[in-house]
A and B are shown apart, each in its own frame.
Chain A
Amino acid sequence: MNPIVPVPPLEPPLTDTAIALTLVLLLLAPLSVAGLALITTGLGRSRSAAQALLGNLTIVAVAAIVFALVGTGLAGNLSGLSHAVHLARKPWNWTGAGPLFLHGFSSAPVQRQLEILFEFLAVMLAVLIPWGSGADRLRLAAGCAVSALLAALFFPLVAHWIWGGGWLAALGANFGLGAGFLDAGGAAPVHALGGLSALALVWIVGPRRGKFPREGLSTAMPGHHVVYVLFGCLLCLVGWMAWNLAGAILWLNAPLTALPRNAVDTVLSASAALLATLAVTRFRFGKPDASMCANGWLAGLVASSACAALLTPGESLFVGLVAGIITPLLVEMLELALSIDDPSGAIAVHAVAALWGILAAGFFAPESGQLLAQVVGIAALLGLVFPAVYLLFAILNRIVPFRVDPDGERIGMDLHELGGGAYPEFVIHRDDSYR
């Protein structure tokens, strides 16, 4: 094992205009965090709304601190150093070897600082995804523990593989697979990782009480505030355009002239996905389903994360269309056929749509071997990251129990964990789903 190898510097360095624009875009990117927080809160129940939104804030805070203290070292962008294993005369660069506690941040080149800022904000988005899936039964302490684990270990590792000159980024140079694994907007380290973590979490924590009764179909537990959900979608659009454009500048060295098309591609993907979901739910249920349409919109944005910088507008439309068709069908299948209770639909919206976007980026790429590079990235996420996440979550569950006790679930997470509800002047009706 070669202890430390330098990551090749980015060429050419960013211009001052690109640096200023990237900084502005990154300041807009947290709108996606706000949007996702509103969506996950709105899709939960009213008696858990305050805990859900406070949880969003808390786990984002935990992720920010843990990533700053530990994660930046593993991500490795700050120092440009990394640990690599040499296999078949090729370096397999697995982790960063940067300093802990953001040591040297202020003296690093501004481009490196922006890369760290991008990852710093991206980790906040990634940790929100499993929190939404555990709505109405996941304890706040457990959410913080999950957030810390993702921010300290899994996000930095995957981010290093893709953005820190890691083995996935080097697939092109080492094995002739196109330009290596490409993902400018964070489909893999943010959405695929977050969605797969959500699957691991809901498997461990189990369904909400009364969701799957002994007899009959699963109980419908609709979100308590669709207006939050739909407004969150609008916030997400701004945040997503910021992510995709900033990512294109930082990770693909995209020229400024390519950015307007990138933004248009993002909007087209989300729009096609929304209309496709609207049509599918209209066909399936007789009327469009508002919360499912929100999931479709989000799936289109997630799919655009991997490929908006690489595709033409027509191809982006197609990517969004497919994401919008598979999302409602998959949400339904996960619940009815596979008995997976995912209130926010994160597994379909984030994991599957992200994997589809990653695949589409390779499928439409002109370089030969690009599709294979993207498939290898998907194989790493599914075959290596997901089992490791599940294993560590299962161990973590023994230390910090994920699930609230039955009494807490019955009275609601707000009263149980916070001592007060989100809507104290409203009458909360008895839940008929408990049988």
Chain B
Amino acid sequence: MKYAGLLVMPAGFFLTAAALVLFPGSAQRAVFVVCGLAVEALGLGVAVRGHMLARGESRR
């Protein structure tokens, strides 16, 4: 689960980079850059969740 989250994070970055190339308009670009950052945050959240599950199992 932790690795799945870490794999999602680069996808967010590539969304951000694609927004720079694909959208010349500042509003659209900003929205997609923020979406990319949100995907990264989602990936980090999944990775943190994976860490917590692993810690919980090791405590048992």
Report which A residues bind B (CB closer than 8 A): 87-88, 90, 171, 175, 203, 207, 212-214, 338-340, 368-369, 372, 375-376, 378-380, 382-384, 386-387, 390-391
Interface secondary structure of A, over-half rule: helix
Which B residues lie at the A interface, using CB under 8 A?
2, 6-7, 9-14, 16-17, 20-21, 26, 29-30, 33-34, 36-37, 39-41, 43-44, 48, 51-52, 55-56, 59-60
Q: 13 new A-B pairs (CB below 8 Å) besides A376-B17, A378-B37, A383-B11?
A: A87-B21, A88-B21, A90-B21, A213-B59, A375-B34, A376-B20, A379-B12, A379-B13, A379-B36, A379-B37, A379-B40, A386-B44, A390-B6
User: In the bound complex, how far is the Cα of B40 from the Cα of A3, in angstroms?
Assistant: 30
Report yes or no: B55 in contact with A380, Cβ–Cβ below 8 A. no
Q: How far is the CA of A128 from the CA of B17 in the complex (A)?
A: 31
The DSSP consensus for interface residues of chain B is helix
Most buried by B among A87, A90, A380, A382: A382
CB distance from A362 to the nearest CB of B (A): 12
How far apart are the CA atoms of A87 and B20 in the complex, in Å? 11
Pick from B2, B12, B34, B60: contact of A383, CB under 8 Å: B12
Chain A residue numbers with a CB within 8 Å of B13 are: 379-380, 382-384
- B residues in contact with A212, CB < 8 Å: 55, 59
Tell me the minimal C-beta distance from A87 to chain B in angstroms: 6
Q: Are B26 and A375 in contact (CB under 8 A)?
A: no
Shortest Cβ distance from residue B1 to the other chain A in the assembled complex, whole angstroms = 12
Most-contacted residue by chain B among A203, A340, A387, A390 (CB, 10 A) = A387
- Contacts A203-B51, A375-B33; is A382 near B40 (CB within 8 Å)? yes
Scoring B34, B39, B51 by chain A CB atoms within 10 A of each residue's CB, the highest score goes to B51
